[in-house]
């Protein structure tokens, strides 16, 4: 893992792909805020490192919510972007696990959740239903209880689908609220405006070299995350 001057943690880099450990608050793609994106920072890093003239290509292969941290993967060529997009469309080709710190210990400790999610664009929020709704999309994940502190509980989550705010909405639907996530029912925000949801690992077959890639992102440096990283 390498840190560059923009404070980006590089988890993996070759001629085709680059993976970073996204910080809470970093924005993946431009939105109505007009804030600088993490992609802009990576382009600047690549431009300087390889002394590239003109524009630097950087393709977004997937997204993380702004308050979420963890593994984020970009393509450095249009060829690798096309191939990564194909992998993400094929169920099971890419395995992602997340860590979530929640306010209630789940019962049962392990379960697969299936809901139908409806996205509200105005609220920038998704709502989970047990039965199919108009314009809903099926969402599925499996959570596993890992450990507890005196106040919070750590879950490991594997996504089976990729929906807007899926983990946040599905956990809230069963009464589990992610620390700091005001939008989905936690009573207080985190100081940095982030939430305790972290894209911990990603596993896939490299689209060019065919090498098996497994990347793990260290958790943010705060007391709660540090506790769980030690005891898990």
Mean pLDDT of 181-188: 96
Q: What is the pLDDT of residue 6?
A: 58
Domain spans, the chain: 2-231
pLDDT at residue 40 is higher than 60: yes
Which CATH entry fits the domain spanning 2-231: 3.40.50.11900, 3.30.2350.10, 2.60.40.10, 3.10.20.810?
3.30.2350.10
Mean pLDDT of 30-58: 86
Mean pLDDT of 118-124: 94
Q: What is the pLDDT of residue 1?
A: 54
pLDDT in tens, 45-80: 999 998 888 889 999 999 999 999 999 999 999 999
**CA pair distance 28, 63, nearest whole angstrom:** 6
> Is-contact 99 198, C-beta < 8 A?
yes
DSSP of 114-133: EEEEEEETTTTEEEEESS--
**Based on the number of CB atoms within 10 Å of its own CB, is 89 exposed (0-12), middle (13-18) or buried (19 or more)?**
exposed
pLDDT above 90 covers what percent of the chain?
81
SS3 assignment, position 223: helix
Q: What is the pLDDT of residue 15?
A: 95
**CA pair distance 70, 96, nearest whole angstrom:** 11
Average pLDDT, the chain: 92
Top pLDDT among 192 and 141 is at 141
**CA pair distance 192, 190, nearest whole angstrom:** 6
pLDDT above 70 covers what percent of the chain?
95
Cα distances from 143 to residues 39, 107, 122, in angstroms, run 30, 11, 29
Q: Which H, E and C letters describe 55-88, residue by residue? A: CCCCEECCCCCCCCEEEEEEECCHHHHHHHHHHH
pLDDT at residue 223 is higher than 70: yes
**88 confidence band (pLDDT: 50, 70, 90):** confident
Q: Where are the beta strands (DSSP E) in the chain?
A: 2-3, 9-13, 17-22, 59-60, 69-75, 95-102, 110-120, 125-129, 137-148, 153-159, 197-205, 212-216
pLDDT at residue 5 is higher than 60: no
pLDDT at residue 103 is higher than 90: yes
pLDDT in tens, 142-181: 999 999 999 999 999 999 988 999 999 999 999 999 999 9
Mean pLDDT of 38-48: 92
pLDDT at residue 2 is higher than 60: no
pLDDT at residue 111 is higher than 60: yes
Running DSSP on this structure, what letter comes out for residue 155?
Answer: E
């Amino acid at each position: 893992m390498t840190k560059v001057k923009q404070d980006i943690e590089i988890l993996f880099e070759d001629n085709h792909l680059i993976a970073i450990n996204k910080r809470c608050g970093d924005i993946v793609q431009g939105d109505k805020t007009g804030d600088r994106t993490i992609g802009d920072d990576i382009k600047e890093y690549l431009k300087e490192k390889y002394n590239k003239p003109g524009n630097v290509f950087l393709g977004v292969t997937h997204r993380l919510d702004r308050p979420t941290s963890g593994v984020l993967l970009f393509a450095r060529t249009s060829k690798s972007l096309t191939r990564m997009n194909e992998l993400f469309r094929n169920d099971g080709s890419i395995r992602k696990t997340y860590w979530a710190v929640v306010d209630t210990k789940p019962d049962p400790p392990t379960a697969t959740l299936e809901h139908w999610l409806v996205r509200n664009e105005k609220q920038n929020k998704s709502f989970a239903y047990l039965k199919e709704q108009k314009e809903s999309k099926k969402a599925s994940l499996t959570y596993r209880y890992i450990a507890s502190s005196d106040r919070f509980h750590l879950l490991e989550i594997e996504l089976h689908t990729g929906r807007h705010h899926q983990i946040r909405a599905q956990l809230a639907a069963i009464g589990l609220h992610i620390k700091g996530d005001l939008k989905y029912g936690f009573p207080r925000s985190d100081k940095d405006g982030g939430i305790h949801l972290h894209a911990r690992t990603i596993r896939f077959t490299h689209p060019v070299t065919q090498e098996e890639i497994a990347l793990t992102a260290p958790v943010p440096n705060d007391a709660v995350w540090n506790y769980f990283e030690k005891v898990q």
